[in-house]
Amino acid sequence: YFTVSNYGKGIREAIIKLKKFNSVRIVIEATGRLEFNFIVACEKADLPFVVANPIHVKRFAGAIGQRAKTDKLDAKLIA
């Protein structure tokens, strides 16, 4: 788990960190188009990604009884 800003420098930092892993797929939750710059950067870096529907993520969380909502918990849930 790590946090970066959603701007150029932060996105570049995330891409560098993610390239160190042999990722099968990077999953990012759709956030009203705020994820766009990140997915463009993933595409340019040839990193596999999928954009998850936030309703599906929320329903899955509810199905497993997870009511708390923090960035760290969301990252674990999506992973």
Distance from C-alpha of 67 to C-alpha of 56, rounded to nearest angstrom = 14
pLDDT value of position 23: 79
Q: What is the mean pLDDT of the chain?
A: 93
- DSSP class of residue 28 equals E
**Running along the chain, 79 residues long, what does each successive block of 10 average in pLDDT?**
93 95 90 94 96 94 91 90
Q: Which of 2, 4, 22, 25 is nearest to 13 (CA)?
A: 4
Q: Is 50 helix (H, G, I), strand (E, B) or coil?
A: strand
Reported for 46-53, long-range contacts at CB under 8 A and 24+ positions apart, including other chains, are 47/15, 47/18, 47/19, 47/23, 48/23, 48/24, 49/25, 50/25, 50/26, 51/27, 52/27, 52/28, 52/78
pLDDT value of position 62: 94
pLDDT value of position 22: 84
pLDDT value of position 48: 96
pLDDT value of position 24: 87
